[in-house]
Structure 1
Amino acid sequence: MTFSKVSVPQLEPVKRAREYNLYDDSTRDRAIFEYLFNSESHRWIDEHVIGLKSNESRGYQAMGILHFIGLKNIHKGIFNGKSIQEAILILEDQKYDFNLVLDCLYRLTNQSKKSWNLVDIIFEDIESEKAEEESYYTDGAVKKYYGKRFERNPENRRKAIEIHGLNCFACGFNFEKVYGERGMDFIEVHHLKLLSTLGEEVIINPKEDLVPVCSNCHRMIHRRKDHVLSIEELKAMIIRKDWSL
């Protein structure tokens, strides 16, 4: 592919910076990525990246972030099917200024280089979770069961975290913001489809089947076996807190 022949529409930035300044680089980077690479809507980004109720926010937070940078509908999904590195090469070859978008992609590239560290962290977290179970270190036959509240496949868990981030889908809680270094890269992962309704071996789609949730929300989702809550049901119960403070 000859990148020099790929033309990207010029950015159309606006002066309003309120929404852009309201969020950190990580949130802005994920919003930009989902918009450019996955064609996600403003409402989707508000709910799945920023952690808002899209029927209330109506996509205005994501719109504010993207519009400040200058990303409009003509840019939506422009890098569908391309890698981040390919997008960087394309933007570096443009005659217009794409520095804010490039800064985002450079950060995402650095994050992917560190992804192997995330795998190690996930393995440690899974072992810690297993250690909480009474039978984990006892002798005897292994019991087969479904409905565990932890996703034990490290690769699925890693992909879910890389896709959805580390903020709780229900309440927006972020462990690192509250607990500092000890909470870095930690979140539990919830199956949107109950494992008890699936067969013994299924293919899990981390984007569609798994979401990150904090420990409290995860317990509340599964607290009643006869009524496991959906994310939407739990959101409706929550009095939202601002965990960024």
Structure 2
Amino acid sequence: MNKEKFSAWLNIHTKISDSLREDYIAILDTWDVWQLEDIALFNEAIQQIDCDTKLKQQASYFYRLFLKGYPKQLRGTYTLPILQPSGRTREYLQHPDLLKGRILYEHLIKNQMHRWLDVNILGHNGNTNGRVSANILYYFGIKADYRGLFKDCTLPELIELLHEAGEGYEDVVRLLQMYADYLTVAEAQIAISDEELEADRESQDIENGIIKEGSMKYYYGSRYERSITNRKKAIEIHGVSCIGCGFVFEDKYGEHGKNYIEIHHIQPLYTLGKPEVINPATDLVPLCANCHRMVHRRYDNVLSVQQLKEIIIE
């Protein structure tokens, strides 16, 4: 009977408490769904049920995984532990997607522990004891049994594997792909560093629609976040000369400034009402740090490139 099988499945494949397991089973009892062994029939039935509490949502989530035959085995090599998302968004929203992608890479492939991730990627001094990166990973449902699970994989292989895994891994795949794009650009010797991607934060926060609450930043604009590939294409199309004043970093700083320039989004990302395809030829332009700051100096009056040029000429 599904009830006994589901209880045993929870006991084997999750780390939830006995009391929580009993709560899930009690909820499913009230729904009278034990006879539904087909995921499509369960999904149809659950649409008629009011899952108005976190407990009910979790019961539905785990029973769906049970019916779908989780944990999944990929290519006969990797058995994916059950994802158990925490629902805690604070740390996830406080950090840009590129850093989250690197955290996933270092944890899943490089076998790095939470404390190492906090210090070496997020820049904490160690007092956090790994709590910040842990909560980012827990947001996805990635717990301790995932650390180093893919140590024999390359990053492209991991992306392909998790893409095959499907449901529950969509955001993980997106972030890993963003980090892979970043590495591709770096290998192509386009001068992009973590510091440069975070550079000019005040002006780029406005451009990206990042909302500040007190001392915390929340990256609500992440779905419109710049693609690293688009940045590379913009540099290939427009070059690395500031479109406002003509400044070239290499001319001033030599080899150290080679290929460096900031990329300005002509229409600030926070003004986009929905995700749009970005055209590097028409939507992105190169600006030096000074011009970029001047363009965004006033939140309520972001300068156009033409207005910037007119100010410089004056």
How does the TM-score come out when normalised to structure 2? 0.38
Q: In terms of Rg, which structure is larger?
A: 2
With CA pairs under 8 Å and 6+ residues apart, which has the higher RCO, 1 or 2? 1
Give the TM-score, by structure 1 length.
Answer: 0.48
